[in-house]
Amino acid sequence: MTRIKLLLTEGKKRPHDNGLEAPENYEIASKTDQILMERAVIVFRENVFSMLVCMLSGLLCLMYVPSIVNVLSKTGNSRTKEKAFVRYLKTMIHTIRWFNADPKERLASLKCVRKIHSGVSSINPFTQFDMVVTQWAFIAPALLFPVKLGVDHLSSADKMALVHVMKSVGKRLGIDDDLNLCISDDLDEVLDYCRDIHQEVIIPALKTTYEFQEGDSMALHLLEGMQMFNPYILPKPFGTWVFRLMGSPKLVYYETLMAGFFAKREQGLYRMQIELFEEAMSETSRISGITRSIVNTLMLVNVYLAELLQSHIVVTWRRMIM
């Protein structure tokens, strides 16, 4: 049985957490692992803007996967834009910590996330399928669409370093090895699994968005929450850009709206996102290095200020988080 078939069958039957604990030094069990971990820290830091946009793009796609939306809706943490802002800001902070050079900070973050998952599952059980598709959201877009995310300069070794970290993340959050998206040491095998999930899970989910009103509602809350994080992340252009990134059939509909009904500011931001990633940050661009350095710095400052001022930001948007 192929891994995608296993995920679509057994993965939907198995509980989200296998209950196993990875060894304390799992990420650096060998000299090779240690080299991969050190390289991943550098690669992530030098591409933090693209990697966090990759994550947000993947998470937006999850808003259309019914089993995942069912879990998220029961928690109530994505029910409004304010709650979505707090939820996904925390997600970004955890992601940054997973790629931290300090192993204690990595482990503390992953233990915290696993505890949160345990609490959610006691109210609304979810499965290994949901965990692996979520794992896909954090890394697969960058692996599958490097040109569109401005990471086409990454080498195979760089990508394997990122994969190594996400393998560890999956392991420490209780994903079974036979389902773990990043378990293989062969990049081609990882890419094949990523493509299979994209074709068998993500694209079909995005095709149903016209009828799946709850998914559209939660996607809007995520996008509006990200606008609270950064006012230049406008829901319509960013959502349309993500549909373009994923090759969604919904793209034609949104680009038609873009041309005829979106405000000029929205049209401009949509084109700017494409030009930023595919031209200014392209491997062939003469300004890719300085562009990447600038947007990386701005992203980290944005995360820092949003974390520092999140209560003020929420109050400013005139809603209380209950």
Q: What is the pLDDT along the chain (322 residues), one digit of tens a residue?
A: 799 999 999 999 999 999 888 776 677 667 888 899 999 999 999 999 999 999 999 999 999 999 998 888 877 767 788 888 999 999 999 999 999 878 888 889 999 999 999 999 988 899 999 999 999 999 999 999 999 999 999 999 999 999 999 999 999 999 999 999 999 999 999 999 999 999 999 999 888 654 556 777 888 889 999 999 999 899 888 988 999 999 887 666 666 666 666 778 888 898 999 999 999 999 999 999 999 999 999 999 999 999 998 888 877 665 544 4
**pLDDT number for residue 138:** 97
Q: Are the CB atoms for 23 and 114 separated by under 8 Å?
A: no
Of 87, 4, 56, which is closest to residue 246 (Cα–Cα)? Answer: 56
Q: What predicted TM-score, i.e. pTM, was given to this entire model?
A: 0.92
Of 162, 183, 161, 184, which is closest to residue 172 (Cα–Cα)? Answer: 183
- Describe the chain by its helix, strand, coil percentages, rounded to 5: 75, 0, 25
The C-alpha atoms of residue 4 and residue 178 are separated, in whole angstroms, by: 10
* Residue 205: count of CB within 10 angstroms of its CB: 23
Burial class of residue 193 (count of CB atoms within 10 Å of its CB; 0-12, 13-18, 19+): buried
Which pair of tokens denotes residue 150? 């401005």
**pLDDT number for residue 16:** 95
- Residue 281: helix, strand or coil by DSSP? coil
Task: Report the first-to-last Cα separation within the chain, whole angstroms.
Answer: 46
